[in-house]
């Protein structure tokens, strides 16, 4: 934390950021107010018109992005804070524009230009890595929300799955294999989609697993079937480590 008797105007920016990350709300509010012109400029470069901090929604998106940049900035990754926050702001605003318009739009952000303004190529890597991780996290959360809804349609829940998932690696791998066979068989897949349950008798004839074992792992197999059916990119990655 910063010394209380030290004027904020005399403190290096990155020292203030460290203090904010340690819980200094006074300095946080100071930075959010002081850098509003910087935020508005970054946002306007994306929107290609003047941004009014008092009325434009895009400015609010930029302000939140700047605050997020403060809280997640890591100088060890090689990027200056202003370069880092600039790109985070622009990409957040682009995401917002795409969301509002519901259709892909041409990027107003000229990444090659922004990269030239950065102090070194490591900054580019640092920002891209942060953005990739942040985006992946957001998309995974979205998939999980949708997955919960699909589970509900099968009268299943994530809580149930934690209780019924096979405990042994071999059993999990077998159940996943069964789910893949189930999904790849046109008739069996149609049955599950319509009935929301396993065709135990017909499935037992397709796999080298007893009907009793299929019944015991029924909920887990259905959950894997849903992931395969909905083509969840990030949940499918999770499946690679389930075995």
- The answer to whether residues 65 and 124 belong to one domain is yes
Could you say which of 116, 142, 168 is where a domain stops? 142
How far is it, in rounded angstroms, from Cα 31 to Cα 168?
52
User: pTM higher than 0.85 for the full model?
Assistant: no
6 is a domain residue:
no
Total number of domains constituting the chain:
2
Tens of pLDDT, residue by residue over 160-210, are 887 888 888 888 889 999 999 999 999 999 999 999 999 999 999 999 999
Could you say which of 82, 116, 142 is where a domain stops? 142
- The answer to whether residues 50 and 100 belong to one domain is yes
- The answer to whether residues 132 and 42 belong to one domain is yes
pLDDT at 242 over 50: no
Domain holding 206, by residue range, is 154-239
21 is a domain residue:
no
30 is a domain residue:
no
Q: What is the mean pLDDT of residues 214-235?
A: 88
Mind giving me the DSSP string for 190-230? HHHHHHSS--HHHHHTTSSS-HHHHHHTHHHHHHHHHHHHH
- The answer to whether residues 39 and 89 belong to one domain is yes
Confidence of residue 243 (pLDDT cuts 50, 70, 90): very low
- The answer to whether residues 115 and 43 belong to one domain is yes
Q: What is the mean pLDDT of residues 140-144?
A: 82
Among 68, 111, 115, 106, which residue's Cα sits nearest to residue 89?
68
How far is it, in rounded angstroms, from Cα 95 to Cα 91?
6
């Amino acid at each position: 934390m910063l010394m209380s008797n030290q004027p904020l105007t005399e403190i290096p920016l990155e020292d203030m950021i460290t203090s904010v990350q340690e819980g200094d709300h006074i300095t946080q509010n100071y930075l959010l107010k002081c850098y509003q012109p910087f935020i508005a400029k970054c946002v306007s470069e994306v929107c290609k018109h003047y941004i009014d901090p008092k009325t434009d929604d895009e400015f609010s998106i930029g302000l939140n992005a700047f605050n997020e940049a403060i809280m997640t900035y890591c100088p060890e990754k090689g990027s200056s804070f202003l370069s880092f926050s600039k790109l985070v702001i622009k990409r957040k605003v682009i995401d917002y524009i795409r969301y509002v318009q519901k259709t892909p739009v041409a990027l107003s952000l000229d990444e090659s230009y922004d990269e030239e303004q950065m102090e070194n190529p490591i900054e580019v890597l640092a920002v891209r890595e942060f953005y990739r991780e942040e985006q992946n996290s957001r998309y995974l959360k979205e998939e999980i929300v949708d997955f919960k809804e699909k589970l509900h349609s099968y009268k299943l829940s994530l809580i149930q799955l934690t209780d019924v998932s096979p405990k042994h690696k071999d059993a999990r791998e077998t159940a996943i294999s069964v789910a893949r066979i189930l999904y790849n068989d046109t008739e069996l897949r149609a049955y599950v989609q319509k009935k929301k349950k396993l065709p135990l008798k017909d499935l037992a004839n397709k796999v080298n697993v007893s009907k009793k074992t299929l019944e015991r792992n029924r909920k887990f197999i259905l959950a894997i079937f849903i992931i395969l059916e909905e083509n969840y990119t990030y949940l499918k990655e999770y499946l690679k480590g389930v075995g």
